[in-house]
Amino acid sequence: MSVWALALAACQKQGKGTGALAEASAPSKAAVAVKIAELKVTVTPRLVLVDAPMSGQHQADVYSKVIGRITYIGPKEGAAVKAGELLFRVDRSDPGESFLNMPTPSPISGWVGMWRTTTVGEQVTPAEPVVTIVDDRIIRAVAYLPAEDWTEVNSNTRVTANLGGQERAAKVVSIARSADLSSGRGSVTVEIPNPARDWRVGMYTRLRFEVQPKERLLLSSAALIITDQGAFVYITDGDTARRATVQYRVIDPDTVEITAGLPHVGKVVVAGANLLSDKSRVRIIE
C-alpha cells in the first residue's frame, strides 16, 4: 500500500477528512530573516535643504560712464586690485563733445572676477557691466525658504554649507522681514568663511538649516514601505511582524521622521521589510 493510502486510512480512522491530510502534509511557511532596531525618541532639529548661488561678501559690477569704445583693459581675471586702481578706459568722441580716454577705477579692493568685455575697440554702454570685482575671502549666499521654514530661522540657527562634498559652517547674517510676493518665500543671507578663496563666486552651494529642535521619532528610510494605499512599517512582537500604517516626513535620503502611527517604544524591522506581509513569521538576525 502506498504512503498516501496509509495516511488517508489513518485520517479516516481518526474521523478526519482529506483536508486535514493536506494541511498536515504542507510544509510550514519559513520565517523571514530580518534586522530590527529599537524605536526611540531623540531631541533633534528638522533639516531644511536649499541650493543657493554664492557671491563675494563685497562685490561690484563696474560700468562705463559713457557710450564709447574700450581703449585700455587693465588687470587680468584673478588679479588683485585696490580701490581706485584703473580698470579700463573708454574713448568717446561725439560732435561737439570730447571725452577721450575716460578712465574707470575700481570701486572696491578685491580681485578681478570676470571681464565681460575682453577686446580693445569693443563698444560699451552704461547699461551693461564691463567687469566684476569681488572680495571672496568671505562668501555670501542668499537662500529663499518656504514660509514655514523661513519663520523658524533666527540668528542662532545652525547652518552648514556643502560644495562638492566639502562642508563648512555658515552664519546667518540677515533675515528678510517681507516675503517675495510671487513665491511667498522669504530670504535668509548667510556668510561662509573662504580664507583660501577656493570656493568661487557664481557657484551653487547646498545649505542645510537646522530648525525647530524638538523630540522626534527618527527611523531608517529602509524600514518604510510606500504603496498606493499608504505608508507602513513592520513592528516585531516575538517571532511575528505586525504591519503599522504611519505618517512620515522625509529628513534626508536615509532618514524619515514618523509623525503618527507608532508608539515611542518597540522594535521595528529595518532590513527585510519588503519581504513581509502582516503577521509574517520572522527570524531576527544581527
Comparing 45-59, 201-215, 240-254, which segment has the lowest mean pLDDT?
Answer: 240-254
Segment 91-106, tens digit of pLDDT: 886 655 655 678 999 9
Please list the alpha-helical segments (H only) found in 88-232: 147-150
pLDDT tens digits, 39-62: 888 888 888 999 999 999 999 999
- Find the DSSP H helices in the chain: 3-13, 18-25, 147-150
* Joined grid coordinates for residue 96: 561737439
pLDDT of residue 252: 76
Q: What number of CA atoms fall less than 13 Å from residue 200's CA on the CB side?
A: 8
Cell of 116: 565681460
CB 18 within 8 A of CB 11: yes
Confidence (pLDDT) at 126: 93
User: Which stretch of 13-22, 74-83, 201-210, 232-241 has the lowest confidence by average pLDDT?
Assistant: 13-22
Q: What is the pTM of this model?
A: 0.66
CA distance 56 to 53: 10
Cβ–Cβ < 8 Å for 261, 246? yes
In the chain the domains, ranked by start, together with CATH numbers, are 1-27 (no CATH), 32-45+215-284 (2.40.420.20), 48-55+137-212 (2.40.30.170), 65-125 (2.40.50.100)
Long-range contacts of 26-31 (CB under 8 A, 24+ apart): 29/281, 30/281, 31/239, 31/280, 31/281, 31/282, 31/283
What does the radius of gyration of the chain's CA atoms come to, in whole angstroms? 34
Cα–Cα distance measured from residue 157 to residue 168, given in angstroms and rounded to the nearest whole number: 14
Alpha-carbon separation of residue 187 from 24, 150, 180, 190, 281 (angstroms): 69, 7, 8, 10, 52
pLDDT tens string 103-161: 999 999 999 999 999 999 999 999 999 999 999 999 999 999 999 999 999 999 999 99
Residue 284 has a pLDDT of: 85
Q: Is 7 exposed, middle or buried (0-12, 13-18, 19+ CB in 10 A)?
A: middle
Specify whether the CB–CB gap between 189 and 142 falls below 8 A: yes
CA gap 266, 258 in Å, rounded:
14
